[in-house]
Amino acid sequence: MTDATTALLEFIQQYPRLLVLTGAGISTDSGIPDYRDQQGQWKRPQPVQHPDFMGCEHTRQRYWGRSLVGWPVMRDARPNPAHSALATLEQLGHMSLLVTQNVDGLHQRAGSEKVVDLHGRSDQVVCMSCSYRCSRDETHQRSAELNPEFIHYTATTAPDGDADLEVDFSRFRIPECDRCGGILKPDVVFFGDNVPKQRVADSLNALEAADGLLVIGSSLMVYSGFRFCRKAQEWNKPIAALTLGKTRADELLSLKLNAPITPLLQGVLNGLGQPPQPAANPVIRQPHRAAGGAPSITPESALPAPAAE
């Protein structure tokens, strides 16, 4: 058992009822790209902003056009062993609530039941005028039918159902609400929008009742996640972070584990007498999202390989 695995196992045993906060780094082993590098910096231009989406038709054309390429990757992603490991920790009574910043729904598909989707779910679409709801797949199919000339494009997948596609979107026909003709938007919190107050309140109530906070796969650069560390510090709750790289909360952490997520969580399950979790499907290996306290433990397997000369 590695030092990092031992440290997290002892943290869980010392603080047995944890609120767990997850970010994009836990889903990269499922083939979904993350937003930031190990320094917490953007890997690509920032994603769509809520005011731009609502106020600019071209922004919506570009969003839904790129989604024709990017959404199938999100839709077809499967939970990886890290998701399954957290579902097992919940079943063992070590997790009072799982709050995820991700919008992929993979925690629920892995078997977790006590989940708050802080930023919503990308598999649902809502009308911004009449609140009509439908599935993302339905909207995706309508987009394809309205824009057959766009379905042949391929591009590098970007986070949250986006794709790095740069073409002329001026003739892209945007699917509208079937009921009122209003603007359809994925039921997620875009950058520049606010997380629903009740969702935040429920999560903070669970944190106040928990023994500690465990952050997995998040750099915490966005305040909607960082606020939980601020509150944990205010309430004298210990905070551990498992993630590769820098986090916004480094100075607040009781334990920082700068390590790959999946093998460490599987090692913890072994330490708790649970069998390793099999992968749900073959995965695309990508670096975990940047993020990660005091003391800091970096296993040799997490160190970057030397650059080729």
pLDDT of residue 237: 98
Intervals of the chain under pLDDT 50: 279-294, 298-309
Structure tokens at 244: 């590769």
Rg of the chain's alpha carbons, rounded to an integer?
20
Backbone angles phi, psi at 145, to 5 degrees: -70, -35
Is 140 known to be catalytic?
no
Write down the residue that tokens 């494009």 correspond to. 153
d(CA 181, CA 65): 19
Residue 219 CB-density burial (10 A; 0-12 exposed, 13-18 middle, 19+ buried):
buried
Ramachandran bin of 83, using left for φ above 0, alpha for ψ from -120 to 50, beta for the remaining angles: alpha
| Euclidean distance between CA atoms 185 and 124, whole angstroms | 9
Measured between its terminal Cα atoms, the distance across the chain in Å is 34
Peptide linkage before 159 cis (omega within 30 of 0): no
User: Which two three-digit tokens encode residue 47?
Assistant: 């994603």
Selected catalytic residue, list 83, 94, 107, 119: 119
pTM of whole model > 0.75? yes
Q: Cα separation of 197 and 277, whole Å?
A: 35
Residue 297's pLDDT is: 54
Residue 276, pLDDT score: 60
The answer to whether 60 and 183 have CB atoms below 8 angstroms apart is yes
Nearest CA to 255 out of 295, 302, 298 is that of 295
* 148: preceding bond cis by omega (within 30 degrees): no
pLDDT of residue 288: 28
d(CA 108, CA 28): 16
